[in-house]
Amino acid sequence: MTSLTTFYLSTIIGKEAYGADGDAIGIIKDLLINAVPSGSNDPNSQLITGVKLKIKKETKIYSFRSFRVIKVREIPNVTCSNLEELSTEDVENGLFLVENILDKQIVDLNGRKLVRVNDVRLVTLPTGTFAIAVDIGIEGLLRRIGISMPIKKLLSLFQINIPAKFILWDDVQAIDYTNFNIRLSKSLAKLHTLHPSDLADILEDLGKKSSMNVFSALDDEKAADVLEELETHAQIHIVENLPVNKAADVLEKMPADEVADILDELEDEKAELLLNEMDTESSQEVRELLEYPDNSAGSLMTTDILSFKPEITAFLVIEELRLKKPEAAELYSMFVTESNDELIGTFNLRDLVVAAPETTVEMIMKSEPVFLYDYQKVDDIAELISKYNLLAVPVVDENNQLQGMVVVDDVVDDLMNKRRTNKR
């Protein structure tokens, strides 16, 4: 049977380590773990390599190879056969658990939320001591303040258990690395698997510095999706603190109406700087939207729309959709326009998929569609959508030329924002 001893970081920090003769040699202040990115195939990725030891008035970092943790009556004792000071390079390649992990925020990938580390579980094997999990449960907190056992005994009288809650070390994605120059693109790789809404919630819970570090590690596509999901104050903080070229790259990946909403909240000088950095086509779309008054349909519309000529067939429309891979909202309603972009009809996805391949969109469109003028008041939109049970309404100018559409999601968001403002 393999000899092993499991223990918790909190049970040895602040305790004395003993030499081979049984005499105390110093007080344990921290443990150093090998800082190989989690998920790597390195067998030593979870190995404890060093210990910060206070001997009298001096604190130094020693190799953990000659240290062993054994339990005496369930109490961990740390012994050392030889003190060997750790090299500067080994220290720089490690991560202190107390300093950088304990009490810090990490992402629980399964729960899709931020949690705080209350303790670290370790195991001593013949090959060394390894971190195996972080404790994010109440028991870890009680253990830290030294009342875990009496509380558990008391609760056992009522047949109540304190549920343990751990995250395996390999799944830990530490966020608040205050004093550690970590390569975010590697250590935060698993965060890319989260839904943008979940990642946005996590960023809003983080401190400003940490949220910027995490956001900066995202690729432009993911960053754009996350930025869309953030609350306005968080969007402004991110955009104002990103380098101008990075911010522009992200904004180019977003719908023009979303970008316009963000830039509308910035100082004019900063907004102009970003618009000049964006590509010409994206910048022009946003500038046009910014010209609309805040309470108009034009200010709320998206220019990401799908329009087709009346003679195109259902088969060719579907082929074009396969190529474009539009967002779900773009499929709420599709439009039929003349050569001068004049709106003459609308059709939806159901109309399209049930039509015979050779059917033209003119044959399936609804002529004389309900529409909004670009300078029409926002207050009219909710009533219109409700009356006709629409998911999206086309927006035209005074010449009936299609400019964009207002989707129900944006109407709801606008109404909710007004309600929050009124409550304040």
Domain 194-291: homologous superfamily in CATH: MgtE N-terminal domain-like (1.25.60.10)
pLDDT for the residue 144: 74
Q: What is the rounded CA–CA span in Å between residue 130 and residue 121?
A: 9
Query: Is residue 231 within 8 Å of residue 242, measured between CB atoms?
Result: no
227-235 long-range contacts, CB within 8 A, separation 24+? 227/254, 227/262, 228/196, 228/254, 228/255, 228/258, 229/196, 229/197, 229/199, 229/200, 230/200, 230/203, 230/204, 231/204, 232/261, 232/262, 232/265, 234/200, 234/203, 234/204, 235/262, 235/265
**Given the structure tokens 């159901």, which residue do they identify?**
350
> 170 Cβ partners below 8 Å, 6+ apart?
38, 39, 45, 46
Q: What would you report as the CA-atom Rg of the chain, rounded to the nearest whole angstrom?
A: 30
List beta partners, residue 166. 135
pLDDT for the residue 366: 93
| Residue 202 burial (CB count, 10 A) | 23
The residue extents of the domains of the chain are 5-171, 194-291, 307-423
Top CATH class of 307-423 equals alpha beta
pTM: 0.65
Mean pLDDT split into 10-residue runs, the chain, 424 residues: 77 92 93 69 77 93 92 87 90 88 79 82 89 85 72 69 77 57 48 82 79 84 92 92 93 92 92 94 92 87 93 96 91 93 94 94 93 87 81 92 88 57 48
For residue 377, the 8-state DSSP code is B
